[in-house]
Structure 1
Amino acid sequence: MNLTALNAISPIDGRYRGKVAQLANYFSEEALIKYRVLVEIEYFIALCEIPLPQLSDFDSSLFNTLRNIYKNFSAEDAQQIKDIEKITNHDVKAVEYFIKKKFDALNLEKYKEFIHFGLTSQDINNTAIPLSIKEAMNDVFVPHYQDLLKKLETLVKEWEKVSMLARTHGQPASPTRLGKEINVFVVRLKEQFNLLNDIPSAAKFGGATGNFNAHKVAYKNIDWKKFGSKFVEEKLGLHHSFPTTQIEHYDHLAALFDGLKRINNIIIDLDRDFWTYVSMDYFKQKIKAGEVGSSAMPHKVNPIDFENSEGNLGIANAIFEHLSAKLPISRLQRDLTDSTVLRNVGVPFGHTIIAFTSTLKGLNKLLLNEEKFKQDLENNWAVVAEAIQTILRREAYPDAYEVLKGLTRTNEKINQNSIANFIDSLHVSNEIKEELKAITPANYTGI
């Protein structure tokens, strides 16, 4: 049975495949194999550049030929490696054998034993996977994040002067402005994104148990620690973790996943706020011809994009949380659990990208209902009580808070007239009364 959108088990590979297809370049099995080939080839070239005695006759033109092995890597190449794996029952060893066959074709047989020289499989996995995550972040996550952020920044400007009734504990509270409330999310997202940029993309590279044992015993006079750091940092653009056990300790990767989870939580918060604003009739939604909001109720236009985003972010965060909690823990010098869970690293990224796309779609469908904002403010004149009692305090008016409490805690409707009548009853100057009467729910919005 061929995999299709209809028979895929995961919605990432089924219903939502079109939204996340780009991630296959970084997190699919084929992509993982390609990144492993890349690391093996670059490692071999780095050995040539030491140079080791047997490898001194290599030149840059031959290096380019070798790099084409991963630059021109195809699905057929990946399948060849999977076929070899059926025999070896070891995925990284299959990559080594594949490259050795390529060396045979290039008449480089006598150099084959320097492929994967002195390494363990985790030297390849713990460089290939961080590299794939780093490039997926730069090529896929960041552009989607920036698209969403730019939309929010546009709405901040567009709605910066829209006064609105704030709600704390669900109850009417001191008025605010719609643009400012969206800007809260903008600043939160930016601050968490800045923290992400401070997290190194770390990789382990040090032989079987992290000490360059095999390298050192073969070539005692080479500074293998310096070589490893130069290879990881200059060739691959990663941070060299040292010392390590047989595997990367994953502390930095855990920090990345926790940071992504915090960004997702901010967007969940935003999704729920906009969902609520739609339910309060603060926004209408653009209607697309032919779309159905409910199978039973023809009038409905549901805020499904914000709901879709919230659901996908929840799944993403559950997996990010498991990865960040599990990966830094390994029995003694290594166990296999990190390899097992890292095969799922693309899943939370997939759900995150789906969510970002859905939130952006939801924001693009919003139509501001200014009349509803004005109506809510007009119906809640009691919120200017805070302003009045604060000015009275400034004027040393006795028991200012209690006086306003007495006014606003009655069951009578508070409106502009009742507020004006109350102000007229105060023992303050006419100048202060005029100052108080100038305050309205629409203009009492702070800075």
Structure 2
Amino acid sequence: MSETVAAAVTRTPSGRLALAASPEPIALGPLDGRYQSAVAPLVDYLSEAALNRDRVAVEVEWLIYLTSNNVLPGAGPLTADQQEKLRAIVTEFDAAAVTELAELEAVTVHDVKAVEYYIGRRLPAIGIERLTALVHFGCTSEDINNLSYSLGVKGAVEDVWLPAASGLVAQISAMAEENRAVPMLSRTHGQPATPTTLGKELAVIAHRLRRQLDRVSKTQYLGKINGATGTYAAHVASVPGADWQDISQSFVESLGLTWNPLTTQIESHDWQAELYADVARFNRILHNLCTDVWSYISIGYFRQIPVAGATGSSTMPHKVNPIRFENAEANLEISNGLLDTLGATLVTSRWQRDLTDSSSQRNIGVAFGHSLLAISNVAKGLLALDVAEDVLAADLDTNWEVLGEAIQMVMRAEAIAGVEGMENPYERLKDLTRGQRVDAARMQEFVSGLGLSPEAEARLLALTPGKYTGIAEQLVDHLK
């Protein structure tokens, strides 16, 4: 190595080559590195580049709106060709645009001002240089930012997160339907309890998740454009004859957003806190599924289908680890940590404005990224499961004591019907079953000696743990 090249090599204080000096960018975080492919769709909505593109879009649409509606004297309608060329600034926004904006911001030290200058540079080529002063007219930076974030979050939720989450819920629902009649021993407090079906338990999760998706799908994405402190002061001072509230509402709604009529300098972000709470609740329910499935795998209810060529352990060759669910758990927890922080932080702003929301909102994509990654892992993990019906059946057959509930309830009903000898049903079953294993023969012997009516005795003698599932199978129909 020549002395010139050697001198250019950057090293860390420990003497190692500095990876940060690599010609190719090396990701600091896992979402932009190891897991980039799983979360890539969010880049188009929640990255810094996407935020800048949305800022350009809002500025362009505001310019077109003001001219199309003759809001300012002398700024009449643009031609269709001029409008098309303005909108092309957005549709043709690319890597070169990102670089140019970064160069402008390095001078302005203000991201939104850089966007204003970026658009202004392009007006002469469109033949509307005289309207340069109309770019960002009457706006504070937050007028542009709040609308841009609303558009970005709306797009990310509706185009990326909701379809992925809905697809997973559909997958869980299909599993519930497929296993609706597969009996399974319940475990309340970790102990054998009244049997259910695997399908019904999966249906419970699917139903819970669907409710959260319904809430998310009904989110109102709010926006405002009303000036430095939400009073339209500059608007009225410059064009006093215009109905600025109507203009503001009409413009915000033209973007597909819900107008917020009362704000300080910032849109209050309450809608964001509401949305993030719903997404976090979805995450928590999904986390519950992960821990349950992990536990079912550990007791053999699910077998994992090995992936050809994959390694479960670096030292124990037999292992097939439930890594998809463990990975999902971790990512759901990280996502919720961020979502909870965003929800708590964004609803508070000192007096009419502080900048805590600016830094906070740059992590929205990270929060959704970890959730999206978890959804992907759960979906893949579920595909690699095989229901071990033989293990489920064997577990039921070794826990006949769970029929104690059914027997004592039948005894209560018999007592009410006037059958003699049905006293203290709960206590008698407690003596027989509490903390003890009871096999089929012992349980049936006990039933035969109770003196039940012939019909009740026959019904109980025909009952097995695998048949003691009530209407669990029918309950899966609620998913339809």
Q: Provide the TM-score with structure 1 as the length reference.
A: 0.97
Residues 146-191 of structure 1: CA distance to partner in whole angstroms, max 9, x if unpaired? 2211111110111011000000000000000000000001110111
Give the equivalent residue in structure 1 for 2:285: 266
Task: Report what 2:426 is aligned to.
Answer: 401
- Offset of residue 197 of structure 1: 2.5
Would you say 1:348 and 2:370 are equivalent positions?
no
Q: 1:4–1:14: 8 Å Cα contact kept in structure 2?
A: no
Distance in 2 (alpha carbons) for counterparts of 1:116 and 1:289: 57
Alpha carbons of 1:4 and 1:382: their partners in 2 closer, same or farther (altered >3 Å)? farther
Q: 2:163 is matched by which residue type in structure 1?
A: P
User: Aligned partners of 2:456, 2:369: CA distance in 1, in Å?
Assistant: 59
Q: Any conservation in 2 of the 1:382–1:415 contact (CA below 8 Å)?
A: yes
For residues 273-298 of structure 1, give each alpha carbon's deviation from its aligned partner in whole angstroms, at most 9, with x where no partner exists: 00001001011111112111011111
CA gap of 1:48–1:193, structure 2 versus 1, over 3 A, is same
What residue is the counterpart of 2:447 in the other structure?
A: 423
Counterpart in 1 of 2:302?
A: 283
Q: Is 1:445 matched with 2:465?
A: no
Secondary structure in structure 2 of the residue aligned to 1:55: coil
Alignment partner of 1:92 out of 109, 112, 137: 112
Task: Give 1:221 shift.
Answer: 1.2
Which SS does the other structure have where 1:434 is aligned?
Answer: helix
Q: 3-state DSSP class of the match of 1:54?
A: coil
Change (3 A) 1:40 1:299: same
Deviations 1:110-168 (A, max 9, x none): 11100000100000000001100000111110121122111111101110110000000
Identify if the C-alpha distance between structure 1 residues 42 and 436 changes in structure 2 by more than 3 Å, giving closer, same or farther. Answer: same
Choose from 348, 368, 384 the match for 1:329. 348
The corresponding residue for 2:266 is 247
- Counterparts of 2:431 and 2:96, CA distance in 1: 80
Letter in structure 2 aligned against 1:401: Y
Output the CA distance in 2 between the equivalents of 1:238 and 1:99. Answer: 23
Q: Structure 1 residue 430: deviation in Å? A: 2.7
Please list, as runs of the form range in 1=range in 2, the aligned pairs for 1:68-107 lying within 5 A after superposition: 68-107=88-127
User: Amino acid of the residue matched to residue 403 of structure 1?
Assistant: R
1:108 and 2:128 are equivalent in the alignment:
yes
Q: Could you list the per-position Cα deviations for residues 289-317 of structure 1 after superposition, in whole angstroms to 9, with x for gaps in the alignment?
A: 21110111111000000000000000000
Distance 1:168 1:240 in 2: 48
* CA distance, structure 2, for counterparts of residue 208 and residue 375 of structure 1: 70
Q: 1:427 Cα deviation (Å)? A: 2.2
Maintained 8 Å contact 2:400/2:464: yes
Aligned residue for 1:317? 336
Deviations 1:389-440 (A, max 9, x none): 11110011221111111111264x3011001110111122333211211111
1:142 aligns to 2:142 (yes or no): no
2:402 corresponds to? 383
Instruction: Quote the residue 2:61 is aligned against.
Output: 42
Question: Which residues of 2 match residues 24-43 of structure 1 at below 5 A?
Answer: 24-43=43-62
- What is the percent sequence identity of the aligned residues? 43
Stretches of structure 2 that go unaligned for 5 or more consecutive residues are: 1-20, 416-421, 472-480
Q: Which amino acid aligns with 2:433?
A: T
Q: Match of 1:230, as an amino acid?
A: S
One-letter code aligned to 1:408 = T
Deviation per CA, 1:347-397: give whole Å up to 9, x if none: 011101110000001100001111100000000000011011111100112
1:3/1:181 Cα in 2 relative to 1: closer, same or farther (>3 Å)?
A: farther
Q: Which segment drifts farther, 356-365 or 135-144?
A: 135-144
> Number of residue pairs matched?
444
Deviations 1:307-355 (A, max 9, x none): 0000000000000000000001000000011001111110011101110
In the TM superposition, structure 1's runs of 4+ consecutive aligned residues that sit over 3 Å from their partners are 1-5
In structure 2, distance between residues paired with 1:398 and 1:18: 66
TM-score by length of 2: 0.91
Question: Is 1:188 aligned with 2:184?
Answer: no
What is the alpha-carbon root mean square deviation over aligned residues?
1.2
CA–CA distance in 2 between the matches of 1:430 and 1:364? 48
Deviations 1:45-104 (A, max 9, x none): 110122122221422232111111101111111211110111111110010011110002
Secondary structure at 2:467 match in 1: coil
TM-superposed deviation, 1:269: 0.1
Task: Report what 1:17 is aligned to.
Answer: 36
Distance 1:151 1:190 in 2: 12
Paired with 1:44 and 1:267, the residues of 2 have a C-alpha distance of: 44
Identify if the C-alpha distance between structure 1 residues 414 and 279 changes in structure 2 by more than 3 Å, giving closer, same or farther: same
**Greater alpha carbon shift after TM alignment, 430-439 vs 374-383:** 430-439
- Contact 1:257 1:320 (C-alpha < 8 Å) held by counterparts: yes
Per the alignment, in what secondary structure is the counterpart of residue 297 of structure 2?
Answer: helix
- Deviation string 1:245-267 (CA, Å, 9 cap, x unpaired) is 00011111100000000000000
